[in-house]
Amino acid sequence: MRPTWAEISLTALRNNFRTIQDYVAPEAAVCCVVKADAYGHGAVECARALEQEGALWFGVSSADEGVCLRRSGISGRILLMSGFWRGEEEAIVEHDLTAAVWDWNHIELLEEAARKFHRGSGHPVPVHLKVDTGMARLGLTTAELGSFAEVLKNAEHVTLEGMFTHFASAEVIDAPDTEAQIARFEDAVHAIREHGLAPPYLHLANSAAIVTRSNSWKNMVRPGLSLYGYYLPFTSVVGGAPDQSLELPVKPVLAWKTRVLAVRDVAEHQPISYNGSYVTPAPARIAVLPVGYADGLSRHLSSRGRVIVRNDYAAIVGTVTMDMTMIDVTGIAGVDVGDEVTLIGSCGRRSISAWEHASLAATIPYEILCGISKRVPRKYVS
């Protein structure tokens, strides 16, 4: 196997979960977001570790993600946060998944599936109603709540268990639009209750809102990125400067590593990689790594990023290619084939985070973590 892998610390994951859980307890339950293969960390293994730690709820994006967890033995509640497609309703009922809904057609489909699986009034299919409070992406508007409430009230086999929404900018600590979203959500809950429905679960807070707006907790929160050890920077409309003091003490769960494939000495003015995108200013020692953009290493790191080898930083030189990347190890003594190289993670006093990769690629750590490809094996460590 190619010696490129990601190490997932289940100990760090469990600690992050406990940190978040302790912070919101006893007011709110924690729905652990494990969609997108747990942000590239491995949904099944992460969900197992979290369930062993006491997690009762898991958030995924789609029915196939939920079914995968069920078939892997996850017994906790699984919320399909992005709803479902026609044709998936039977899998939802069969595997006891909980769907987000916002269209009368969702209810009709689940009713038909429940009848097929003989889900009677004593064991109704639970759903969580998604409300659009400002993202303009998915969910009912407040104007549509009345008619939808009647659809829910007339359903024989479907019950409204929860209501939720999603914030657009919770990491901006004084953003007026976030407070407006909370107010719209509370108005929506009031409207639903006026129609005789009383969903027991209400949830708005993502990782950022958990620490910036306790008034958004209600009785469930949905941490995603913070479970895996990262936050988006907390900023202020007024000040604008990032504020790390608000972050809970979570730690990165993933480290990404490879090994030196080859080492060669090259002359001064030697072009490196495709199109000679880097030229050595002096004689240099170049190491080749068996990792490239097909593994998820962004081409934006070409001649800009760095790695850690033998407890020291080494610059990426030349263009990151599909399967290989070159680094300059001229000033690092003893580098040889087989040496371990850290792409993301810590080694001694050196550290490279997903944020560093994201900054160089003009993106966010979500994309860096989710972008580590399936051909990079995940190794789970306690």
Query: Are 117 and 94 a contacting pair, CB within 8 Å?
Result: yes
Q: Burial level of 249, CB count in 10 A (0-12/13-18/19+)?
A: exposed
Dihedral over alpha carbons 96, 227, 20, 76 (to 10 degrees): 10
Catalytic pick among 116, 153, 274, 374: 274
> Cα Rg for the chain, rounded, in angstroms?
24
Question: Is there a catalytic annotation at residue 201?
Answer: no
By DSSP bridging, strand 271-272 and strand 254-259 are unpaired
Burial (CB count <10 Å: 0-12, 13-18, 19+), residue 9: buried
Of the candidates 23, 35, 257, 278, the residue annotated as catalytic is: 35
Cβ–Cβ contacts within 10 Å for residue 136, how many?
A: 9
What Cα–Cα distance (Å) separates residue 362 from each residue in 109, 111, 161, 236, 309?
A: 42, 45, 40, 21, 25
35 tagged catalytic: yes
Residue 34 CB neighbour total at 10 angstroms: 29
Tokens of 232: 């988006």
On whether the CB atoms of residues 368 and 358 are closer than 8 A, the answer is yes
Active site residues: 35, 274
